[in-house]
Structure 1
Amino acid sequence: MSDPLAPVLAALARPGRPSSDYDLNPDIVLPEDRKLRPAGVLVAFDCFKGEPRLHLTKRSSHLRHHPGQIAFPGGKVDPEDDGPVSAALREAREEIGLPGDNVEILGTLDPHETVTSFLVTPVLARIHTPFEVIPEAGEVAEAFTVPLSHVADPSNFRTESRRWRGTRRSYFVAPYGPYYIWGATARILRSLADRMAQ
């Protein structure tokens, strides 16, 4: 029986490149001395009901960074973390109740720079057994899943734009049902989709 995540594993074996929230905005000049804070997000798939599904969250509307946006479980690297992978696992446990010993790390994508000055490492993982999803009340308004086939298809992504800090900024979106996946989350998923399509 073939591994349902074989296309993801094949994508991880191919060369990638760093991405950023500025990819679609080549006119923006970033300062060379900018300070980026390391972070990790968990791009976690389960295969319990046939097709692999990706776990995402809708962030609470009162958060300082990216309020109300669709996001991976994850966050900044804290002093007690060993690095982005450790941070991603810790945050997934805190945000959706995913135990770290229920996760197999498959690999990482190249880092993604956000407009909020984070350097985010996407950590791809397989969830071994079903678990009780418990959204953290303070940070997560909702937890849900999306089929891998949706985020793996480049045709499900489009470019939109809006004014931000006085200039028009373009970004990827990949809406799914009532969920408006955009910004850093969509850009990271587009990077994965592009590698899977090679």
Structure 2
Amino acid sequence: MSAEHDGDRLTPDAAPAWLKGLVDNVRDIPDAYTRRVPPEVRAAFEVASTAATVTGTRRDAAVLVLFSGPRDAPAGTLPDDADLLVTVRASTLRNHAGQAAFPGGASDPEDTGPVFTALREAREETGIDTDRLHPLAVLERMFIPPSNFHVVPVLAYSADPGPVGVVSPGETAIVARVPVRAFVNPENRLMVYRKQKSRRYAGPAFLLNQMLVWGFTGQVISALLDVAGWAKPWNTDDVRELDSAMALVDATSSYGEGQR
């Protein structure tokens, strides 16, 4: 890891004008994240989070939320070629198998902070050159059951992140730089729930041909779009069970295993 990225060094001034609105309002992301979460579900998450901390089963982690795009696009716009780095986890993993995710993972004892963790994990998963990246802001820690991860999303920017791809097929199935406009497109949005014994909670999701982005990652992206002012009205009444939504994924998508 480059010494430039040791610890939690942030460079918010490196954000291009079109990302400034998001960076300047990261404090609003937690509220946008929980806006569609029913109070009883939030309460259950808080209980589980506290229990994980008390029992010592809490695991700290960080993920990289990397936007790429031109430096010179004006404020208040979304460049056509802006993209977001997303992976799909290998189907053989113990936790969150086959799920779309931001690159990232658990903190190591020698990590100096969440920025270090996010960049290290992203490099290990996607082969990205972390010296090309500018960490802009650290978001509030979020709890993910049932893995007991307490995750810190690290917002970052690169005008040109260089080549990325699958480094370890045992951990990652797909690495893709997905156009932000694909997430903005109302036709790609839906609500997804997973069958539970006692409750059915549906969260925002994105159907993007070769991947269904749902759960924690879908909720974070939805919050980012809202806070940045990029979201367009979409049909929140389109609610599907997870297996039914996954059946819509088209394996012949143009999102390949790597983007250069």
Q: TM-score range by the shorter chain?
A: 0.7 to 0.9
Match 2:82 to one of 35, 42, 52: 52
Alignment-derived partner of residue 86 in structure 1: 116
For residue 40 of structure 1, report the CA deviation from its aligned partner: 0.8
Q: How many pairs are equivalent?
A: 196
Q: 1:74 to 1:130 in 2, by over 3 A?
A: closer
CA deviations over 1:93-114 (Å, ceiling 9, x no partner): 1000012212111212222221
Match 2:40 to one of 27, 31, 36: 27
Amino acid at match of 1:61: S
Alignment-derived partner of residue 252 in structure 2: none
Secondary structure, counterpart of 1:98 in structure 2: coil
Match 2:196 to one of 151, 156, 164: 164
For the 8 Å contact 1:174–1:182, the answer to whether it is kept is yes
**Are residues 1:126 and 2:139 paired?**
no
Amino acid at match of 1:95: E
1:130-149 aligned within 5 A? 130-135=161-166, 136-149=168-181
Larger displacement relative to structure 2 (21-30 or 75-84): 21-30
For residue 21 of structure 1, report the CA deviation from its aligned partner: 8.1
**Are residues 1:67 and 2:97 paired?**
yes
Bigger proportion of residues as helix = 2
Larger displacement relative to structure 2 (55-64 or 158-167): 158-167
Secondary structure, counterpart of 2:210 in structure 1: coil
Q: For structure 2, which runs of at least 5 residues remain unmatched after alignment?
A: 1-13, 71-78, 231-260
For residue 184 of structure 1, report the CA deviation from its aligned partner: 0.5
CA distance in 1, matches of 2:121, 2:197: 29
For the 8 Å contact 2:80–2:181, the answer to whether it is kept is no
CA distance in 2, matches of 1:154, 1:125: 25
Alignment-derived partner of residue 103 in structure 1: 133
For the 8 Å contact 2:135–2:155, the answer to whether it is kept is yes
Larger displacement relative to structure 2 (168-177 or 97-106): 168-177
Secondary structure, counterpart of 1:18 in structure 2: helix
For residue 121 of structure 1, report the CA deviation from its aligned partner: 1.3
CA distance in 1, matches of 2:34, 2:210: 23
Secondary structure, counterpart of 2:193 in structure 1: strand
Secondary structure, counterpart of 1:78 in structure 2: coil
CA distance in 1, matches of 2:226, 2:187: 10
Instruction: Kindly indicate whether structure 1 or structure 2 has the higher relative contact order, using CA contacts under 8 Å at least 6 residues apart.
Output: 1
Alignment-derived partner of residue 39 in structure 1: 61
Bigger proportion of residues as strand = 1
Secondary structure, counterpart of 1:9 in structure 2: helix
CA distance in 2, matches of 1:139, 1:33: 28
Larger displacement relative to structure 2 (5-14 or 25-34): 25-34
Identity value in percent:
33
Higher Rg of the two aligned structures: 2
Alignment RMSD, CA only?
Answer: 2.8
For the 8 Å contact 1:40–1:76, the answer to whether it is kept is yes
CA deviations over 1:152-196 (Å, ceiling 9, x no partner): 567854322221355323222112223211001001111111111
CA distance in 1, matches of 2:106, 2:35: 20
Q: For structure 1, which runs of at least 5 residues remain unmatched after alignment?
A: none
